[in-house]
Amino acid sequence: MVAITLFLNHSRTSLSILSVIIAPIQPIYGGGGSVAVGTNVVTPNPHVPFRGNKSEYEKRFAQLKPKTLAAQSTYFLATLQYLRELGITVIVVDMPMLKPVRDLLPPSFWHNYSAQLKKDCQDNGAHWLDLSHDAQFSSPADFLDYVHLNAYGGQKFVDRLAIFINDNR
């Protein structure tokens, strides 16, 4: 999963942050699984129990769809190029996920996936922050389910992002 954070600094807009989550899993592997209105609600209560939804990702990862992945990659690249033309600073984050779900696809898939995103970022002046294998995000205590951070993991994420932004000004 990749998060794109855009820092907009135009005459009409003081520094504002727009976060767009790109979930490559659904477009790549098709279908939304059990995703429906009201099924993925995050409450302000940080003590939401971990939801073991590995079977959902087993279904999503069962059959690769290279044409869909290629189309998504094309749109991603076009978005980076457009934002570069506008002079917008972009940080692309390869988000953490728990190992049991990551292990559903071979390491070669994740290597190629990350390498291509990183190259697209470098070619278009975007920053790349890889948290996909970060040991700080290895406990289910930081996740709502295998791929979505909870309040605790989100705080760690924001802290890491703030440090990255400060170090890359």
- Amino acid 139 reads S
- Residue 34 placed within a domain: no
Tens digits of pLDDT across the chain (169 residues): 444 444 433 333 322 333 333 333 333 334 455 556 666 565 666 677 888 889 999 998 888 888 998 999 999 999 999 999 999 999 999 999 999 999 999 999 999 999 999 999 999 999 999 999 999 999 999 999 999 999 899 999 999 999 999 999 8
Domain contains 40: no
Domain presence at residue 134? yes
- Angle (CA) 104 42 26, round 5°: 35
Structurally, the chain folds into a number of domains equal to 1
* Residue 38 belongs to a domain: no
So what's the pLDDT on residue 134? 94
pLDDT at 96: 96
Predicted TM-score (pTM) of this structure? 0.72
CA distances from residue 154 to 84, 119, 142 in whole angstroms, order as listed: 28, 26, 8
Q: Which domain holds residue 123?
A: 2-9+18-27+51-167
Beta carbons within 8 Å of 59's beta carbon, 6+ residues apart: 31, 33
- Distance, in Å, from the CA atom of 120 to the CA atom of 150, rounded to the nearest integer, reads 29
